[in-house]
Amino acid sequence: MSTKKNKLPTIYIGADHTGFHLKKQLIDWLTKQDYLVHDLGNHVEDLADDYPQYGFAVAEAVVQNKKAVGIIICGTGVGICIAANKIKGARAALVYDPKIADLAVRHDNANILTLAARQTSFKKMQSIINIFLNSKFEKGRHSRRVNQIIDYETKSGI
């Protein structure tokens, strides 16, 4: 394993049938950039699959590996984002724009990027992902806000 690869975050990726082909393209693209990418499904294009299982799988993996990030894809991005955010510690952000990718990390410490297969081109996904992976959490007043979410998860048993 290269030194560069050791410094890059591990990426867990998942998609339902709507995002299946884009996910495969993204895996190839990210792997060529030396990212370690784990494909958590769907592994075959199945028009009858359901997005929650892939949102749950990626979110659980990211929460267990604090140095990892996730990328999840479904038709609109909404459903899989909702599913991922049911996992304690997951902070999935639905992103359609590169600027929002940056703010999702800098202000909200997002650890999972959610993409919409029906709304976002592969080229735009590449731009969004590059920004997401290279943005850093600013802490300060943003830490206070993120900690309120963490405290609520802990107190409520979510």
- Catalytically annotated residues: 74, 107
- Going from the C-alpha of 109 to that of each of 11, 69, 73, 142, 157, the distances in angstroms are 16, 11, 19, 8, 21
β-bridge mates for residue 92, sequence order: 112
Taking alpha carbons only, the member of 77, 66, 150 closest to residue 111 is 66
Q: List the structure tokens of 43.
A: 């592994």
Distance between CA atoms of residues 12 and 141, nearest Å: 29
Strand order in the sheet with 37-39: 37-39, 10-15, 68-74, 112-116, 92-94
105, amino acid identity: V
Q: C-alpha angle 37/6/3, rounded to 5°?
A: 125
